A and B are shown apart, each in its own frame.
Chain A
């Protein structure tokens, strides 16, 4: 197991390198750059700036500079936000994204597992059909549709929750999000994953409940509760566990949209702006960060998988 983890960690390095290289190439290949605005700078000024940032250097010099930055995980100053380094922006925006992302993740896991299990245990009941119909709706509805609908209902009609933005509250020296601002984004983001997890759980549980060893457990005289929780759940949630890895990658993409819809000062929002502004350092910094997070999380999922299923050995 230990050597597996080491091996996987070593694989992460070239993976990040590839991701960054592709992102860098795409930025270069796309027409225009940060200074190609409509109004245009005086040629002399632009020439000075290009020289300052090394934009006219040969591609391999620029690429080498990027590799040096990647090695120390410091991408320097943002071009758009002149007085801030990429790392400062990450530090400031990341907590917002993490709060939204993790809340959504937990909501999706808890409710998805619950509804999926109930649906499987009450197969073909009204409860099963209604929760699966809701799941189908959740999967089909993109979050940029669901978000505004929730805003319309809960913020602009019922006035229960704010329609957007973010607020930190200080509790004993620790900054926590104002939960009122967290609820709608988290629900919007979680809907799709909740639906997926519910369906995966239902399918997984239905399959496991038909297994011979469940019959054995019943023949032992265990109660239905013990059969489900002790014997069935472990095997039933394996598909969910394998899904949690890719889910995180989708979740990151989802944050980008949801933060836009709710105007949150999170990583995703800056990511979009960076792309629109051709803010290469910021864009590459965020890309590198997300790549590392997704890869590390996939590793964690594999470890969890081996822990749940003893037949798996790496």
Chain B
């Protein structure tokens, strides 16, 4: 792949499999993307779409067995992470690539003081002395906005609220000033007001430190305001890949359109919230053809028969669909007609959600019943 000096991380054709009793689950199946320095990449998708596994695979944190990285390469800063020894990999984890996890209630060790958990990482990677590490822990807690940090640094995790714990996780992740921060659904377990604070904090710290960020979420509203690029994943594959603005303006994949429509819109007159019909497929027994075909509104006979192509619908905008060009064109047309006749709703983040063609709506309602 082209290895420009700007590229921090490049993932090529990554495949991660899990051996289970029902067979081999291809949790990640041929995922490729690039991340430039200072950029933020959003990865969205439903539960089980392979978002988290992709990122755990980057850090080589897949539990083996049953997991196995079946193929592909991960180039970080020109270095092939899969060629490193365990020892070398450990020096990258936490030091150069840090990770924040979904549930701050369980991601901190309940038996260890916050101070110790924070000191551990700087002592390990930066060789800090005990007192240096302690001071650094206090200043990190101040940085992430924990009031009275010095007095609270010796608390145990259970003495902190969920939002506070996520702040601690962020402080821990950023302790060694990593070049890449992977945030795996950092706000999913938090309530809405805290979510906004945490996202604002990540944004703010990213600006201060220049860290690249991969933000994993199933909430499109979260990625909209924060990311430069978005990857939409489904069944272990990339379904759509585009610059954030392009994706929201003109989604080229029926799955993405479905996701966008299922974001709650408080200004909507319609009482019912849209949901994509059906459930994500069983990854152990994927159907022939497009894995989304059974749930897709646009599906035709070919979708159940042939695997869809990964189409470049516009520069830097790809979609995995037999009808990618057509869906893209429809999205563009819808957007133009919307601009021509502006709707009353002022949903700036998600302009697509309000506008659905009558046929789509009736089909959705049918599926909901």
The answer to whether A binds B is yes
Which residues does A use to contact B, with CB under 8 Å?
211-213, 215-223, 230-231, 234-235, 308-311
Task: Tally the A-B contacts, defined by beta carbons under 8 Å.
Answer: 68
Q: Of A219, A221, A230, A310, which one neighbours B158 at CB under 8 angstroms? A: A310
Q: In the bound complex, what is the Cα–Cα distance between A221 and B111 (angstroms)?
A: 19
**Which residue of B is nearest A123, CB measured?**
B65
Q: In the bound complex, what is the Cα–Cα distance between A218 and B94 (angstroms)?
A: 9
- Write out the residue numbers on chain B whose beta carbons fall within 8 Å of the beta carbon of A230: 112, 120
Please state if B107 and A221 are interface contacts (CB–CB under 8 Å).
no
Residue B61 interfacial (CB < 8 Å) = yes
Also in contact, A231 and B90, with CB within 8 A (given A211-B106, A215-B61, A216-B107)? no
Taken residue by residue from 93 to 106, chain B's Cβ proximity to chain A (1 for < 8 Å, 0 otherwise) reads as 11100110101001
- Write out the residue numbers on chain A whose beta carbons fall within 8 Å of the beta carbon of B101: 212, 215-216, 219
Task: Tell me the minimal C-beta distance from B297 to chain A in angstroms.
Answer: 37
Q: Of A213, A219, A311, which one neighbours B93 at CB under 8 angstroms? A: A219
18 residue pairs bridging A and B, Cβ less than 8 Å apart: A212-B103, A212-B106, A216-B99, A216-B101, A218-B93, A219-B93, A219-B94, A219-B98, A221-B121, A222-B90, A222-B120, A222-B124, A223-B90, A230-B112, A230-B120, A231-B112, A310-B156, A311-B110
Also in contact, A310 and B106, with CB within 8 A (given A222-B90, A222-B120)? no
- Write out the residue numbers on chain B whose beta carbons fall within 8 Å of the beta carbon of A311: 110, 156, 158
B residues 19-70 in Cβ contact with A at 8 Å? 59, 61
Also in contact, A220 and B107, with CB within 8 A (given A215-B101, A231-B112)? no
Task: Tell me the minimal C-beta distance from A17 to chain B in angstroms.
Answer: 38
Please state if A309 and B111 are interface contacts (CB–CB under 8 Å).
yes
- Write out the residue numbers on chain B whose beta carbons fall within 8 Å of the beta carbon of A308: 111
Which of B59, B92, B109, B156: most chain A CB closer than 10 A?
A: B109
- Not counting A212-B106, A216-B169, A234-B112, a sample of 19 additional A-B residue pairs whose C-beta atoms are within 8 angstroms of each other reads A212-B101, A215-B61, A215-B101, A216-B107, A216-B108, A216-B109, A218-B61, A219-B59, A219-B61, A219-B94, A220-B94, A220-B172, A221-B94, A221-B121, A221-B124, A231-B112, A235-B110, A308-B111, A310-B158
**Which residue of B is nearest A216, CB measured?**
B107
Please state if A213 and B124 are interface contacts (CB–CB under 8 Å).
no
- Write out the residue numbers on chain B whose beta carbons fall within 8 Å of the beta carbon of A235: 110-111
Please report the total number of B residues contacting A with Cβ < 8 Å.
27
Task: Tell me the minimal C-beta distance from B229 to chain A in angstroms.
Answer: 23
- Write out the residue numbers on chain B whose beta carbons fall within 8 Å of the beta carbon of A216: 99, 101, 107-109, 169, 172
Task: Tell me the minimal C-beta distance from A11 to chain B in angstroms.
Answer: 27
- Write out the residue numbers on chain A whose beta carbons fall within 8 Å of the beta carbon of B112: 230-231, 234
Q: In the bound complex, what is the Cα–Cα distance between A160 and B342 (angstroms)?
A: 97
Which of A221, A234, A309: most chain B CB closer than 10 A?
A: A221
Task: Tell me the minimal C-beta distance from B94 to chain A in angstroms.
Answer: 4
Which 7 pairs of residues, A with B, have the shortest CB-CB distance?
A221-B94, A221-B93, A220-B94, A212-B106, A213-B109, A234-B111, A219-B99
Residue B125 interfacial (CB < 8 Å) = yes
**Which residue of B is nearest A233, CB measured?**
B111
Please state if A213 and B61 are interface contacts (CB–CB under 8 Å).
no
Q: Of B108, B110, B125, B156, which one neighbours A221 at CB under 8 angstroms? A: B125
Please state if A213 and B110 are interface contacts (CB–CB under 8 Å).
yes
B residues 201-227 in Cβ contact with A at 8 Å? none
**Which residue of B is nearest A211, CB measured?**
B106
- Write out the residue numbers on chain B whose beta carbons fall within 8 Å of the beta carbon of A219: 59, 61, 93-94, 98-99, 101
Q: In the bound complex, what is the Cα–Cα distance between A215 and B104 (angstroms)?
A: 12
Please state if A213 and B120 are interface contacts (CB–CB under 8 Å).
no
Q: In the bound complex, what is the Cα–Cα distance between A218 and B110 (angstroms)?
A: 16
Please state if B110 and A310 are interface contacts (CB–CB under 8 Å).
yes
Task: Tell me the minimal C-beta distance from A220 to chain B in angstroms.
Answer: 4
- Write out the residue numbers on chain B whose beta carbons fall within 8 Å of the beta carbon of A218: 61, 93
- Write out the residue numbers on chain B whose beta carbons fall within 8 Å of the beta carbon of A215: 61, 101, 107
B residues 123-149 in Cβ contact with A at 8 Å? 124-125
**Which residue of B is nearest A232, CB measured?**
B109
Residue B288 interfacial (CB < 8 Å) = no
**Which residue of B is nearest A209, CB measured?**
B63
- Write out the residue numbers on chain A whose beta carbons fall within 8 Å of the beta carbon of B109: 213, 216-217, 231
Q: In the bound complex, what is the Cα–Cα distance between A309 and B111 (angstroms)?
A: 6
Residue B91 interfacial (CB < 8 Å) = yes
Please state if A220 and B124 are interface contacts (CB–CB under 8 Å).
yes
Q: In the bound complex, what is the Cα–Cα distance between A235 and B98 (angstroms)?
A: 24
Task: Tell me the minimal C-beta distance from A206 to chain B in angstroms.
Answer: 12
Q: In the bound complex, what is the Cα–Cα distance between A222 and B61 (angstroms)?
A: 12
Which of A213, A217, A222: most chain B CB closer than 10 A?
A: A213
- Write out the residue numbers on chain B whose beta carbons fall within 8 Å of the beta carbon of A220: 93-94, 120-121, 124, 172
Q: In the bound complex, what is the Cα–Cα distance between A223 and B88 (angstroms)?
A: 11
Task: Tell me the minimal C-beta distance from B209 to chain A in angstroms.
Answer: 18
